[in-house]
Chain A
């Protein structure tokens, strides 16, 4: 079955420090992986995606994510966090031959000044 796990409900980090938001997935075959961000009372905004190719994917607002096939992970990272990065982050997966797009439970990122 297709699934996504985001093991941390909340991640706290000081401004200027690096941040990591974790995601692991389960899907048949090769995965297509996505990260989205949601600000309060807003819809979801796309950050980045892994389809194929380089395992390190760069996206919007300085975020990047590393695809690790052996660990079935796709962790979101940023070298230097900003207070404005505080939001709810979602990881999502779809399989090679399916339109089914499954999201994780979300991780709330709090960046403190």
Chain B
């Protein structure tokens, strides 16, 4: 039972390069999330998706785009990476409030460095 799988685990980008972080969950959850974790800042929500085909901005969406490709997959794209986007990125999934609350399940994270 894989849970939430993120790829890649590590990535180094040059300023201005683009990349997509992939996330997939096998728990049939409706809700999916992308967070970034920075020292002293905790986890900050970038984007979330309540269901396939819907996405909403979180606390820090600037510089990012997302795609909810299907119920399983939620990708995060950096179109033009900046050093300020150096961070650890976490994907998570959970169930709808209306479907009964579950806690969020997290992937193992992607450590991204932009030089």
Contacts and interface: CB of A to CB of B under 8 A. Distances in A.
A45 B41 CA distance: 18
A105 B33 contact: no
Q: Give the size range of A's interface with the partner.
A: 20 to 34
Contacts of A11: none
A106 B42 contact: yes
Given A46-B103, A90-B43, A97 B97 contact: yes
B13 interface: no
Q: Give the size range of B's interface with the partner.
A: 20 to 34
Nearest to B105: A46
A49 B103 contact: yes
A100 B35 CA distance: 12
Given A34-B103, A43-B107, A49-B103, A103 B42 contact: yes
Interface of B: 30-31, 33, 35, 40-45, 48-50, 56, 58-59, 90, 92, 94, 96-97, 101, 103-109
